[in-house]
Structure formats: structure tokens, C-alpha cells
Structure 1
């Protein structure tokens, strides 16, 4: 039996003051799932996503992603882990405005040492697949919010990550653009991409997720599989 792609065991995250951000959390996510993480502000959603991305470390417990235990890795090892195994999409895109669309998408491949020819072919394929090939030479500031988020998804998918992490991916978009991103996430998951998305958007979770968990005070209070 294949091991889950994410295994979080007895994870707590405590800061200097206040209650823990995560409190003895256990979670397993299988390859091919699209997991939505819901919860009020301060519930631990972003902390959980940061744990999976290797951007934060637990005070207690272990985090294993794609067969790699990441809670005990060095910063250099974690940077390599993110380059090789993780794609990230953010609410405000995090694109570099002084680079073209193509160069933004190529950046992860360059950091990973992918060959120039291979990386350009991969970027071209992604931009065509995502319907933004006509903007290859444009700068992000000239694009709509929905188009910029598609560029961000292309960049996140550049190195064929085992796991796509999305932090409020529709939070900065108008209703039409948000609907486009929802459809894109559904399509990616239908092609077996594993996705973890943190959101306040219950409509996004309802349409995109194969499974939804809800956090309150750093604990999972609801874990529901989508109806088939």
C-alpha cells in the first residue's frame, strides 16, 4: 500500500504568548487528493501550510512529505525540497514585475538547474495549456488578476511538483477570475495533481476539493470527503 504523500503526526506549534497555533494535530493526505483547509482567522491554517512547505518547523511532532521528513532538515535542504517537490500559489501572485511572464515561469527551473532547452519547452507547454501563451513577452503588471494567477500556477507547476500548495488563490480576484481559477484547480486535480489549498472561500472548497478539513484553535474539528 502506498504511503500518504503528507503525514503529519502529533504536531504542535507554540509561540511565546497565547495558545498554540497547532495543537497535537494529526493529518494524512493521499496522492491525488485535493484538500481544502477551512477555518476562521487564527485557526492555524497558514501555520499548517507553512509546515507542509517547510517554511516553519513544529515545536513538537513530525512532518513527512513525499517520503521526506522535513521537520529536522537544514534550511539548505528545505530550499532544495521546495524546489524539487513543492509548487506554491499565493493570494497576491508574488510575481516579479520586472520579469516577463515567460521569465517568471522559467525562474524555478533555473534555480533547479534544468537545461535551457528543456525549461523553455516546459514553459511554452504550460503557458499554452493555461491559455496565456499570447502573454509570453508581457510583464505581469499588464495582465488582469486572473491572468496573473494563471502565470503563478504555471510557475508553481514548472518543476512538476508532487504537491501544489495554494494560499487563498482566489482571495484577490474578481468573481469571474475566481471562477476561472476554480476551474483550473479542478482540471489540475483531475490530472492527478495533489493539491492543498487554504481558503476562506467555501465556494472554492465546495467546487474544487475532494476532501475538506476545518481547523479551530489549531485542531481539526471536521474532516469530510466530497460526495462522489
Structure 2
């Protein structure tokens, strides 16, 4: 592949107080359109990797560049703006606001970014229909199944058309049926061109969704495998 990658992490090290580094001189390039699954045992640095890409944490050494932005050099205010405009995030336990309706949860990132209300309403309607949850627009998240709540979380993450979707154990809190539902959804999003980086222990998720899989061991990339074209 040619050109600049969407994610470029160069010799990144992250340490916390005493003890060995969580990430140890890691270099990683992710191209636009890839679906990267990050595997590894607990403590291998998976969540730290995701947090550094999201600008939620800073490396102790090295650089993190995403979509041309030096994320490791951003102020807190600039980092928040970066996440609103360039990154969508999906979490294991959804992180939806139970006192808001499905629609209001999805609209929230647009409101924070200052998107005009008419444009935001149209975008939310498009996403809810595309993800098959438009019938739940006025419902509250607590009335939905786990798979439906994760679809709402994905819609919210995609609201501002981010270049990058980050997913932290997106099937970890779901039963088998709902997990398969979310796997199908992520596979479809990537087929439509969405770049995805997901941290998971779910091998079925990695095998079905990822175009590339890396395995972290002791803060280093121990394996980097590209999937056979589907």
C-alpha cells in the first residue's frame, strides 16, 4: 500500500509507575479501510493501545499520528475535539445514557460538535434505519436487548462520520445470538469502507470481521496476519 496510513504509531512505549512497560517500542501502521483486530492475553497492552489511538492517554515515548494529527501532542481540549470529529468509540457495556431515548443518545455527538439540528436529525434517521433500529427511536436503552443497545452505540459512534471506529470488546457483554448480530454489523460496516480497530477476546469476531489481526504479548506485536480476501 502507498501513501500515508490512517494510523501511524512509531516506537511507542507506555509505562505506569514501576514495573515493565505496558507497550514496549511498538510500531504499527493501519491503512484506511482496514478492519484490525487486536488480540492478546490480559495485561498485554490491548486497551492501552486503543486509548493511545483515541487520545485518552499519552505515550511515555514515541509518536501516535491518526489521520494526519499528532494525537500525542494534543491538549485536552484539542483531544476532545479530535475524538468528536475523527473517532467513533464503541464499548463493551454500551455506555448509553438510560434517561435519554435511543434517538437522543444517537444525536448527542452531533449536538456536542455543533452540527445543525436539521442535518443531525437526517443523519440520525439514516443511521437508525441503516442499522435496523429505527423502530426503537423513542424507546429508552433499558428496554432493548443487548444486541440492539450495541447497535445504538454504533449509530452514536458513527454520527459525526468519523474516519476511524474503535471498538473495545464490542461483543463481550452479549449472548451468542446478539454477538453474531454485532459481528455481522461490523463486517458490513467495513465492507462499506469504514476503518475499524477492535480489541477483543472473541476469536469468532476477529475471524469473521477483521481483514488483519495482530497479537500483543508483553507490549509487543508477536503476530501480524492479514486475512485471505473474502
Within the alignment, does 1:143 sit opposite 2:144 as a pair?
A: yes
Q: CA RMSD in A?
A: 0.5
In 1, the alpha carbon distance for the partners of 2:57 and 2:23 equals: 12
Unaligned runs of 5+ in 2: none
The residue aligned with 2:182 is 181
Long gaps (5+) in structure 1: none
The number of residue pairs the alignment matches comes to 228
Residue 215 of structure 2 corresponds to: 214
Give 1:90's aligned residue: 91
Task: Give the TM-score, by structure 1 length.
Answer: 0.99
Residue 214 of structure 1: how far off its partner (Å): 0.2
Q: Which residue of 2 aligns with 1:31?
A: 32
Q: Distance in 2 between matches of 1:186 and 1:179?
A: 10
1:19-61 Cα offsets, whole Å, 9 max, x none, are: 1110000000000000000000000000000000000000000
Following TM superposition, the consecutive aligned residue runs of length 4 or more in structure 1 with deviations greater than 3 angstroms are none
After superposition, residues 23-172 of structure 1 pair within 5 angstroms as: 23-172=24-173
Once the two structures are superposed, what CA deviation does each residue of 1:72-95 show, in whole Å capped at 9, x if it has no partner? Answer: 110000000000000000000000
Supply the distance in 2 between the matched residues of 1:210 and 1:217 (Cα, whole angstroms).
23
* Superposed displacement of residue 186, structure 1: 0.4
Q: CA deviation at 1:227?
A: 1.1
Inter-partner Cα distance in structure 2 for 1:142 and 1:93: 14
Normalising by the residue count of structure 2, what TM-score does the alignment of the two structures yield? 0.98
Deviation of 1:2 (Å): 2.4
